[in-house]
Structure 1
Amino acid sequence: MSHPRPNIIFIVADDLGYADLGCYGGREAAFGPVSPVLDGLAAQGLKLTQGYSNSPVCSPTRFGLMTARYQYRLRGAAEEPINSKSRGSSTLGLPPSHPTLPSLLRAGGYRTALMGKWHLGYPPAFGPLQSGYEEFFGPMSGGVDYFTHCSSAGHHDLYLGEAEQQEDGYLTDLITEHALDFVERMAPGAQAGTPFFLSLHYTAPHWPWETRDDAALAEEVRQNLFHLHGGNIETYRRMIHHMDEGIGRIMKALARHGVDRDTLVVFTSDNGGERFSDNWPLVGGKMDLTEGGIRVPWIAHWPAVIAPGGESVHSCMTMDWSATMLDAAGVQADVDYPLDGVSLMPLLRDAAWDCERPLFWRMNHRGQRAMRLGEWKYLRVDGNDYLFNLADDERERANRAKVDPERLAAMRAAWEAWNATMPAIPEDATVSLGYSVKDMPQR
């Protein structure tokens, strides 16, 4: 059965942990359910329990999202992540000449916008409007204060198009408002046959730890945007709830305009959680290739195609969802930039579908590498090799390397063969959280 080309909304949270949402086992907050809207989308759509991000840090995953290819193919993604020191660089960013998810969709007749975080290089060499988006509102950098909208370097970092935008308000709400405005303007065209693609990239629940009611903290945070001395679990959960409320408003707008049935909404996180996140039962978090750093929520809702109540153990990565969106839209990849991502359209039609293929990661930090194939995972950290059966041991505690050396050798050889097809990590590539790990409480 054929369907109209869907509108597409790709929602990306920032540093959200695997179990932060209620539908992934997250605990209720003191104020009640943390994510009722997203829980509802999962119940009425498809939830994946074995889905991954392309990287355990922000910028590289976003390269994978934008290109539907392994981020290692681009020099900018070797910086983990791109930070304010990259301002003015003509190297560290997403090249405007590279085809992207929005540029391909736009060429295929879609209206396109990014509302939220960019984090793929600074103007004038790079920017959303140079990589396929018609409209943009949000910060260029990785993290900004929710009220002053200043980056860790102290620069005001809020843009409308390519011009700085002074706009009062809590950033999560501002991103929602601009996304709503886009949907309101595009819905009539969508009804008439011109679909839209909206990247909705919230900065929540990334530091600093500020809720909608915490404007008084802005001056305190100005001195240390990483907010090492602040925050708590309840604040963190409230930040997620504010994002969830915004998503609810957008879903209501889709329904009000009668385009909800033919809109594919996908939700995920750019990497695993950070300080206050819940990754249970996974170990590790942001910066790690252990499961807590790369396994993330994946929720898809598209009433015209996806049956309610679906749950899948299919393993996938960020770039697969970008390939899926191109497939759903009937848009072909550029022949000179073949996709590494694999379309999940069969999964959207049938939650029982599965297709085993290897997934690969590498990380400059601590010489990390990882591969997943079926229920098995190969991991290297600090020169030590590990082999885990994730079906039995999601916490990666029982190293099977010595009892199954043949499997370890085969997976290590497969990883090295894959790695040989990727550009080497440049010697000058840096990796940084933006603050010293020694300042943080140790796990």
Structure 2
Amino acid sequence: MNAAIAPADGRPNIVFILADDLGWADLSVYGQTHYTTPNLDALAAEGVRFNQAYANSAVCSATRFGLITGRYQYRLRGGLEEPLVRTAHLHGLPPAHPTLPSLLRDAGYDTALIGKWHLGNLPDYGPLKSGYNRFFGNYGGAIDYFTHKPRVGADVPRDLYEGEVPVERVGYYTQLLADEAVAWLHQQSAARPFFLSLHFTAPHWPWVGPEDEHISRDLTDLFHYDGGNLHTYAKMVRSLDAAVGQVVQALKEQGLDENTLIVFTSDNGGERFSKTWPFTGQKTELLEGGIRVPTLLRWPAGLSPQVSEQVTITMDWLPTLLAAAGLQPHPDYPSDGENLLPVLQGQAPAHERTLFWRYKAQRQRAARQGRWKYLKINEHEFLFDIEADARERANLRERHPEVFQRLRQAWAEWDAQFLPITDEVFTHGVTPDIQADRYAPERGTRAL
């Protein structure tokens, strides 16, 4: 093993690993019992395991806006698309907007995104236009793990790019991303710190494991509504775990381990085969199962191992990671999140926060303040004691009307600050198949 090295100025390297549709209990350290995730469990044992971490949205692209800007996604037109599908050529992350990678890049970090972008398509949008020095991955929301195509069909081009140039690769996508990440890490040195965004598509559909290339050949629809099973899903998550282990091992072999800050989380809650116990709900729903996400942070040089009960959300990572690098958000674009380091380093106690969500499907609304959660799905409104009732079963709005009205009003005042979800926005990004399957109006009430 090489002698330990760190950037010459002492600032930490940063590796931000984002899973796609990973549910709350899909890791064994969070309660999975049907398979194990030893590499991610090791990250948890050696770092911080968050018990109350949330995603900015119940779907992927909206959360990614929150992550890269450090702000509620509803400040940007592209962030209203949940998800960004049909209009990705029209709406996306404006290249002039300061981002987590652009702020780090301008401060001397080498930056790379390997994996999923999903913040707008070429020619107007892309990772190289928003702060990354290097990009390898897919621009859209999902691709097949072996063909690397966003849709089924012989004449469909692959959504796989090196920078802004389409490329071809052979192999299972999760493994390809791990290999690319390791190769990029091997190019780094002590001359300057680096920021690597490693955004996997796993375990997002299609339901294909690393030995299931024949399934890719037989697919007639990438949504794959008639396929998948718990066994295949387990293989996908275990492949993700192995990929993370491969990256961590590369850091150790290069002596970059001690002063590299690694974050692992998910862009939203789990889907069909995911385990979200003890929560109800899933992706596309503002029930806890749709927005509570497993989250780990490991930084041996800066943080002691711990379990944190501090409530967090995706947009906290911009101010937190900038603070670790000795930086602050752009003054013209203040973060809606907060720097978590004072709490994690024992300089401040865990504290109550008020977080808000809205989601256009079923006109959902949610607010979390302390133990209380306000939730609206269509015309049904609820108040839950989320600490005592993790499954969101007992509606306490009549028992605690003052709390219900306070959070209801707080949500309305918060919502008034942002771009409205108009009828035109509501119909964008929803394919007919998704509208019929996932966004059925009765889903919200049935889930309760």
With structure 1 as the length reference, what TM-score do the two structures score? 0.94
2:55 to 37, 53, 56: 53
SS of 2:423's equivalent in the other structure is: coil
d(CA) in 2 for partners of 1:251, 1:435: 38
1:428 aligns with 2:420: no
SS of 1:435's equivalent in the other structure is: helix
Contact 1:78-1:426 at 8 Å conserved across structures = no
* CA RMSD across the alignment: 1.7
d(CA) in 1 for partners of 2:249, 2:104: 24
The change in CA–CA distance for 1:434 and 1:286 in structure 2 (over 3 A counts) is farther
- Tell me the amino acid that sits aligned with residue 259 of structure 2: D
d(CA) in 1 for partners of 2:381, 2:143: 37
- Number of aligned residue pairs: give it: 428
- Tell me the amino acid that sits aligned with residue 396 of structure 1: E
Q: How far did 1:355 drift?
A: 1.9
SS of 1:86's equivalent in the other structure is: coil
The change in CA–CA distance for 1:283 and 1:7 in structure 2 (over 3 A counts) is same
Contact 2:21-2:271 at 8 Å conserved across structures = yes
Equivalences for residues 354-373 of structure 1 within 5 A: 354-373=350-369
Contact 1:56-1:288 at 8 Å conserved across structures = yes
Could you tell me which residue of structure 2 aligns to residue 17 of structure 1? Answer: 23
- Tell me the amino acid that sits aligned with residue 177 of structure 1: D
d(CA) in 1 for partners of 2:58, 2:173: 24
d(CA) in 2 for partners of 1:396, 1:254: 41
Contact 1:305-1:348 at 8 Å conserved across structures = no
d(CA) in 2 for partners of 1:259, 1:280: 36
User: 1:10-36, CA deviations, whole angstroms, 9 ceiling, x for partnerless residues?
Assistant: 10000000000000011133xxx2x11
Contact 1:113-1:198 at 8 Å conserved across structures = yes
* Structure 2: tracts of 5 or more residues without a match: 1-8
d(CA) in 1 for partners of 2:435, 2:415: 28
1:325 to 321, 328, 335: 321
d(CA) in 1 for partners of 2:229, 2:243: 22
SS of 2:113's equivalent in the other structure is: strand
Contact 1:73-1:423 at 8 Å conserved across structures = yes
The change in CA–CA distance for 1:422 and 1:305 in structure 2 (over 3 A counts) is same
Could you tell me which residue of structure 2 aligns to residue 220 of structure 1? Answer: 218
Contact 2:47-2:304 at 8 Å conserved across structures = yes
Could you tell me which residue of structure 1 aligns to residue 3 of structure 2? Answer: none
Could you tell me which residue of structure 2 aligns to residue 104 of structure 1? Answer: 103
Q: Percent identity?
A: 49
d(CA) in 2 for partners of 1:351, 1:38: 27
2:205 to 189, 204, 207: 207
With structure 2 as the length reference, what TM-score do the two structures score? 0.93
Could you tell me which residue of structure 2 aligns to residue 177 of structure 1? Answer: 179
Q: How far did 1:117 drift?
A: 0.3
The change in CA–CA distance for 1:437 and 1:349 in structure 2 (over 3 A counts) is same
- Tell me the amino acid that sits aligned with residue 71 of structure 2: R
Could you tell me which residue of structure 1 aligns to residue 5 of structure 2? Answer: none
Contact 1:94-1:121 at 8 Å conserved across structures = yes
Q: How far did 1:437 drift?
A: 5.4
- Tell me the amino acid that sits aligned with residue 401 of structure 1: R
d(CA) in 1 for partners of 2:207, 2:227: 7
Q: How far did 1:347 drift?
A: 2.8
1:393 aligns with 2:389: yes
1:122 aligns with 2:121: yes
1:151 aligns with 2:144: no
2:234 to 234, 237, 256: 237
Could you tell me which residue of structure 2 aligns to residue 285 of structure 1? Answer: 282
- Tell me the amino acid that sits aligned with residue 109 of structure 1: G
2:75 to 64, 73, 76: 73
1:26 aligns with 2:32: yes
Could you tell me which residue of structure 2 aligns to residue 86 of structure 1? Answer: 87
Contact 1:283-1:292 at 8 Å conserved across structures = yes
Q: 382-391 or 55-64, which moves further after superposition? A: 382-391
The change in CA–CA distance for 1:15 and 1:203 in structure 2 (over 3 A counts) is same
SS of 1:400's equivalent in the other structure is: coil
Q: How far did 1:182 drift?
A: 1.1
Could you tell me which residue of structure 2 aligns to residue 42 of structure 1? Answer: 44
Contact 1:364-1:431 at 8 Å conserved across structures = no
Q: How far did 1:350 drift?
A: 3.1
User: 1:384-425, CA deviations, whole angstroms, 9 ceiling, x for partnerless residues?
Assistant: 111000110000000000110011001111111111111212
- Tell me the amino acid that sits aligned with residue 301 of structure 2: A
2:403 to 401, 407, 422: 407
1:375 aligns with 2:381: no
1:303 aligns with 2:303: no
d(CA) in 2 for partners of 1:354, 1:209: 39
